[in-house]
């Protein structure tokens, strides 16, 4: 596969021919497009003193969509040529039926440029990357005699998209991504615990290779592992919780963000359906989804329908003021698209998805939030979680948390889970820190079998009365 610019109208199909086929597919439809993509990715993993995985993947293809009402016809292929697109037309037109649609207005144009278009895979040689992973492994093992295993992964990718619409408009985007992840396992008298640290974004891989970047990550992973090595069993019961800034915003993303996606609200299946304009959170709570932050993992210059990404306010001072929309749901709900129509690849249909979702900071000193707790939990790091969109109920596991009594941070606890529902948790926010922080660039979000990169963020938050699941009582 060529590493030059992705220009399908020069290498694969004549633009006029492609446009005629898109117009045939979308005749008397409400919307549609030809989405063409070329992507390549490389993932290197060094584990237990050796190269465990070295994977390179390249793909190319198109997806053709026609939309009529609530129905979408979609066909895709790994071959971009006139013959393949012709075959896709008949499938896409199944959604149009007898027609009668009125084509939606095209997306507005943008000259926004949020990230580089350089291929991060090519910014270092394969041997240099392997040598670096070996150096990081040795560095991590040399930091503490209790370290028994170090795992390091380095990934880079480049996605190039070209979108052709029925009126003839063409938009394109070149999206880089890079990420570094290190995990450290420590052992003390037969007890083993782990810690993880990571970082990345829509930028080249060069910065991740610098010692000033990866050494602090290794130290952080080791710190978390050593904290967990001394952790005691987490308490169980209803208690106040202070969430740390940054990555704990994943709870906001799952418990609240998905419920504010347009399709769930149009269908009435979200816990927030029908609540537009109502107070759904405590005063002072403002939540945004912002795809326009330069170099962030969840940012997109345009979404996968060609709509420019936006800085969209979802909750303002506790009131629900907006949902995240793709073109289809926006049209059906009588509102404007918000730049949140995303898809995993050309083989997937777009749907409303988050980009970078975060809560704005308040005016409280984070230390004072903890000092105000009589008996609670200070949760700094999170692992996996689950949420039920229909009622907002969530369960999240903590990877780093501490017991707090009479305003003093005490012992680290292990095995804590936070249980609640998003709507109630928003109402029970008692304090908002002035320390808004975005995550380090590690998030991926799943919905309907599709995965896309996302970002999260929040300030420190004091939430009253969450259920904490743990191994001990009191």
Q: Is the pLDDT of residue 150 over 70?
A: yes
Q: Is residue 3 part of a domain?
A: no
Q: Cα separation of 54 and 123, whole Å?
A: 17
Among 196, 229, 262, the domain-final residue is 229
pLDDT in tens, 373-430: 999 999 999 987 778 888 888 998 999 999 999 999 999 999 999 999 988 999 999 9
Confirm if 84 and 77 have CB atoms less than 8 A apart. Answer: yes
Mention every residue, 6+ apart, whose C-beta is less than 8 A from residue 150: 46, 136, 137, 140, 141, 182, 183, 184, 185, 218
Q: Is residue 1 part of a domain?
A: no
**What integer pLDDT is reported at residue 2 of this predicted model?**
60
The DSSP symbol for 407 reads T
Mean pLDDT lowest among 1-10, 133-142, 288-297: 1-10
For residues 277 and 423, state if they share a domain.
yes
Q: Is the pLDDT of residue 474 over 60?
A: no
Q: Is residue 2 part of a domain?
A: no
Q: 98: which 2 tokens?
A: 């007898």
For residues 190 and 310, state if they share a domain.
no
pLDDT in tens, 365-378: 999 999 999 999 99
For residues 334 and 407, state if they share a domain.
yes
Q: What is the domain range of residue 190?
A: 8-229
For residues 126 and 88, state if they share a domain.
yes
Q: Is the pLDDT of residue 1 over 70?
A: no
- Work out the number of other CB atoms within 10 angstroms of the CB of residue 43: 15
Q: Is 352 helix (H, G, I), strand (E, B) or coil?
A: strand
Confirm if 256 and 244 have CB atoms less than 8 A apart. Answer: no
For residues 313 and 214, state if they share a domain.
no
Among 178, 213, 229, the domain-final residue is 229
What value, to the nearest 5°, has the Cα angle with vertex 349 and ends 344 and 355? 45
Among 173, 194, 229, the domain-final residue is 229
Tokens 């008397």, residue located = 28
CATH assignment at residue 55: 3.30.2290.10
Q: Is residue 437 part of a domain?
A: yes
For residues 286 and 334, state if they share a domain.
yes
What value, to the nearest 5°, has the Cα angle with vertex 70 and ends 69 and 73? 90
For residues 40 and 187, state if they share a domain.
yes
pTM of the shown model: 0.96
Q: 132: which 2 tokens?
A: 């670096």
Looking at every residue in the chain, the average pLDDT score rounds to 95
The number of domains in the chain is: 2
Q: Cα separation of 6 and 98, whole Å?
A: 36
Mean pLDDT computed over 291-313: 98
- Work out the number of other CB atoms within 10 angstroms of the CB of residue 272: 24
For residues 245 and 363, state if they share a domain.
yes
Mean pLDDT computed over 294-305: 98
For residues 314 and 458, state if they share a domain.
yes
What value, to the nearest 5°, has the Cα angle with vertex 117 and ends 197 and 75? 95
**What integer pLDDT is reported at residue 437 of this predicted model?**
98
Q: Cα separation of 178 and 180, whole Å?
A: 7
Mean pLDDT lowest among 16-30, 377-391, 455-469: 377-391
């Amino acid at each position: 596969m060529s590493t030059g610019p992705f220009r399908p109208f020069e290498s694969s199909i004549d633009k006029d021919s492609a446009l005629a086929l898109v117009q045939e597919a979308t005749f008397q439809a409400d919307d549609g497009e030809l989405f063409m993509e070329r992507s390549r990715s490389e993932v290197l993993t060094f584990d237990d003193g050796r190269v465990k995985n070295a994977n390179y993947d390249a793909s190319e293809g198109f997806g053709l969509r026609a939309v009529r009402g609530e129905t979408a016809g979609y066909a895709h292929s790994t071959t971009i040529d006139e013959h393949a697109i012709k075959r896709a037309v008949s499938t896409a037109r199944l959604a149009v039926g007898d027609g009668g649609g009125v084509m939606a207005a095209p997306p507005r144009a943008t000259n926004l440029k949020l990230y580089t278009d350089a291929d991060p895979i090519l910014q270092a040689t394969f041997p240099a990357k392997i040598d670096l992973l070996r150096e990081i492994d040795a560095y991590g093992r040399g930091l503490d005699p209790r370290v028994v295993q170090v795992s390091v992964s380095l990934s880079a990718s480049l996605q190039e998209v070209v979108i052709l619409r029925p009126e003839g408009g063409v938009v394109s985007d070149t999206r880089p991504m890079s990420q570094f992840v290190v995990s450290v396992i420590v052992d003390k008298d037969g007890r083993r615990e782990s810690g993880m640290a990571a970082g990345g974004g829509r930028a080249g891989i060069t910065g991740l290779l610098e010692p000033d970047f990866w050494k602090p990550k290794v130290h952080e992973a080791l710190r978390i592992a050593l904290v967990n090595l001394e952790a005691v069993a987490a308490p169980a019961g209803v208690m106040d919780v202070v969430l740390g800034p940054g990555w704990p915003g994943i709870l906001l993303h799952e418990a609240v963000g998905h419920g504010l996606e347009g399709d769930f609200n149009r269908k009435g299946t979200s816990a927030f359906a029908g609540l537009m304009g109502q107070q759904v959170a405590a005063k002072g709570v403002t939540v945004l989804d912002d795809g326009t932050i330069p170099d962030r993992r969840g940012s997109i210059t345009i979404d996968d329908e060609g709509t420019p990404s936006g800085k969209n306010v979802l909750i303002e001072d506790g009131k629900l003021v907006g949902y995240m929309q793709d073109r289809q749901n926006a049209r059906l709900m009588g509102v404007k698209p918000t730049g949140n129509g995303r898809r995993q690849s050309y083989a997937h249909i777009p749907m409303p998805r988050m980009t970078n979702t975060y809560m704005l900071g308040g005016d409280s000193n984070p230390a004072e939030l903890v000092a105000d707790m009589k008996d609670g939990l200070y949760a700094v790091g999170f692992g996996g979680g689950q949420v039920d969109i229909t009622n907002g109920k969530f369960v999240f596991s903590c990877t780093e948390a501490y017991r707090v009594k009479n305003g003093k941070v005490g012992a680290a606890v292990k095995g804590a889970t936070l249980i609640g529902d998003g709507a109630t948790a928003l109402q029970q926010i008692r304090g908002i820190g002035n320390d808004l922080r975005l995550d380090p660039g590690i998030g991926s979000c799943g919905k309907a079998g599709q995965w896309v990169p996302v970002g999260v963020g929040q300030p420190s938050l004091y939430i009253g009365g969450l259920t904490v699941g743990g191994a001990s009582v009191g």
